[in-house]
Each structure stands twice: as C-alpha cells, then as structure tokens.
Amino acid sequence: MKTKQPHSRSPETTGSWVLAHDHQPHISAELRKRYSALIDANGTHVVIALEMLGGDEVFSRRPENLLDVHLWVSHGIPSASITHLAQAIEPLPSNTLSEALGISLRTLHRKKGAQSDTLSVAQGGRAFKFAEVVAKATVVLGSRETAVQWLTSPAIGLDQQKPIDLLATPVGTQLVEELLDRIEYGVYA
C-alpha cells in the first residue's frame, strides 16, 4: 500500500488517504472510525468532502449523518472552509473556484481571509456540493490530481463541456454527478 506524499494541508495528503493496490483512494482507519455512520449511509465521498472543507478544524460538532451536514451548512460554514477547499483542489486557480461557487473573486478572497466570518447558506451549500463532486471524482477516478484534470478537461459524456463549468448550476452539477456514476459503473458513453 502506497501512502500519498505530502503536498499541502489537504485531506488527501495528511495521511487520511491512501492509494490502495486497486488505485482507489481510501480513507484512513481513523477517519473511517470517526465517520462510520456517515460512511455506511452515504459512502466515503461525503467524508472526503467534509475533510476538504476543513474537517475537525472547522466543525463545531462532527456530522454523523446528512442531516447534521445540512444543519452545519444552514448555520453557516466558517469562511476558513474556503481556504481548506482551495488548498485541496490546487492547482485550480481562484477564479475557477469562485465561478463554481457562484461567488465573485473579490468576495472569495475576502472570505478566505476572514477567519471569524461564515458563508451564507447558499454559498455554504455550493461549497459543500462542489467539495462533494470533487471528492466523488477523486473516488471514481483514483486520485485528486486525476479528478482535477478531468474536471477541467472537455468530457465526451457532457458534449465536450468541461465538468467544472457545469458546477455553477444545480442541473449542471447533476449532469456531472450522473456522468461520474456512469464512469464508476462502466456505462461511460
């Protein structure tokens, strides 16, 4: 089993993830234990998304199910989550993240720098969904680097649209998730 090499403070590179012999990212036993109920009900990509947003560093209480995640988002995700998310998806530029989150670049930079601020419900919802899609792409495609490359490249299954460009709307996000499901189950067309 090969451990991912440290690159920055992101969940994939802090020892929480390993690349197994089947080249699929798996979360560590520690994360699996902490989030066992959430993983059992929703899969590892939800936990990876939460870790991409900062995990225990930003949670006031660890989510145990999707209702807890909903409550966390509706009460306002700490702005520090944007910094964690930006680090987790390097080398994507800030303008790509701001477009996907529906936040102006100026607001994005302000939110990244404001440690005590929170995101609006809409901003937090988009941030969580974006992290969830990146996490799902990471699980399906085998690595964060491959996921980021796939998200920024034209996809045949999306009529040559870049998946990242579709994440600005709920319908586009659904199309990207459906394509990832097809890829995961070998029905890629």
pLDDT computed for residue 158 by the predictor: 92
pLDDT computed for residue 22 by the predictor: 38
pLDDT computed for residue 1 by the predictor: 35
Confidence of residue 28 (pLDDT cuts 50, 70, 90): low
* CA 65 – CA 120 distance, rounded (Å): 21
Confidence of residue 40 (pLDDT cuts 50, 70, 90): low
* CA 52 – CA 33 distance, rounded (Å): 18
Mean per-residue pLDDT over the chain, rounded: 75
Q: In terms of pLDDT, which residue wins out, 95 or 29? A: 95
Range among 25-39, 68-82, 108-122, 149-163 rated most confident? 149-163
Listing from the earlier edge strand, what are the strands of the sheet with 25-27? 2-3, 17-19, 25-27
Confidence of residue 35 (pLDDT cuts 50, 70, 90): low
The set of residues, in sequence order, having a beta carbon less than 8 Å from that of 42 and lying 6+ positions away, is 66
3-state secondary structure of 76: coil
Domain extents in the chain: 2-184
* Residue 163, pLDDT above cutoff 90: yes
Identify each DSSP E strand in the chain by its residue range.
2-3, 17-19, 25-27
Q: What is the pTM of this model?
A: 0.75
pLDDT computed for residue 70 by the predictor: 87
Confidence of residue 72 (pLDDT cuts 50, 70, 90): confident
